A = this chain, B = another copy of it.
């Protein structure tokens, strides 16, 4: 039973990418915020991550949590990210600790460091630019959503230090299904393909680590997020690269 992996925010697009790639690899338990439009292939529940009883029920008998749930809108208002993203993540950590969960994979975001871009745009989107963020830098959120994701990372650090569960924060880039964003240098620089997204989360479920902050992008020629740490600690081995695409066609 401890092999069960709880996936919160299962109805979102990151959850979709993970289930697409890892459907048969784990005993999933899915937590939805709203009733799913079609019957899921795995055991599931509908509940609020901000409600401790729901969070406890979701975590019961679980070995690992992938926590994606929250308000995903980059322009989400403060009150919503304060409640859903910051408080909700704290409630999930509490429930995970109480249930004896051993690892907690947390969906952070590129928005936690969005303001690093402002002063370097657009040079850093070019393939030859060598600027890299590596996850050791202090956050520079570009919006309240990013503030909330940075706060979730700090909560993860606290719960790791205090309760010894492994915590991996993944600053997810620009996830798109199929081809990378078209005519959008920035989106191509932080592109994360669906298969690489699933693989990266599998790595975070399998590898041995304490507390990590890594970037979640494919191995794009254009990049300003380093994926070295993810490769080194998690064994991340991305297969996609936005430079291999022209529009909707893979050309390499």
Residue A82 lies at the interface, judged by CB distance under 8 Å to chain B: yes
A155 to chain B, nearest CB (A): 6
- The interface residues of chain B lying within 8 Å CB-to-CB of A82 are 82, 86-87, 90
User: Cβ of A121 < 8 Å from any Cβ of B?
Assistant: no
Find the B residue at minimum CB distance from A91.
B78
List which A151-200 residues lie within 8 A (CB) of chain B.
151, 153-155, 157-158, 161-162
Given A154-B139, A154-B141, does the pair A161, B118 have CB atoms closer than 8 Å? yes
A-B contacts besides A147-B154, A151-B151, 9 pairs, CB < 8 Å: A82-B87, A118-B161, A136-B138, A138-B157, A138-B213, A140-B157, A141-B157, A143-B158, A147-B158
Q: Does A146 contact B (CB under 8 A)?
A: yes
Some 26 contacts from A to B, beta carbons below 8 A apart, are: A78-B90, A82-B90, A86-B151, A115-B158, A115-B162, A118-B161, A136-B138, A138-B138, A138-B153, A138-B157, A139-B154, A139-B157, A140-B158, A140-B161, A141-B157, A141-B158, A142-B158, A142-B161, A143-B158, A146-B158, A147-B151, A147-B155, A147-B158, A150-B154, A151-B151, A154-B154
| Alpha-carbon distance A138/B167, docked complex (angstroms) | 15
* Total chain A interface residues with beta-carbon distance under 8 A: 27
Q: How many copies does the complex hold?
A: 2
CB-CB under 8 A from A78, the residues of chain B are 90
A149-B58 Cα distance, complex, nearest whole Å: 30
Q: How far is the CB of A215 from chain B (nearest CB, A)?
A: 14
- B161 touching A115 by the CB < 8 A rule? yes
List chain B residues, Cβ under 8 A from A90: 78, 82
Chain B residues with CB under 8 A of A115: 157-158, 161-162
A96: shortest Cβ distance to chain B, in Å? 15
Q: How far is the CA of A139 from the CA of B162 in the complex (A)?
A: 14
Contacts of A146 in B (CB 8 A): 158
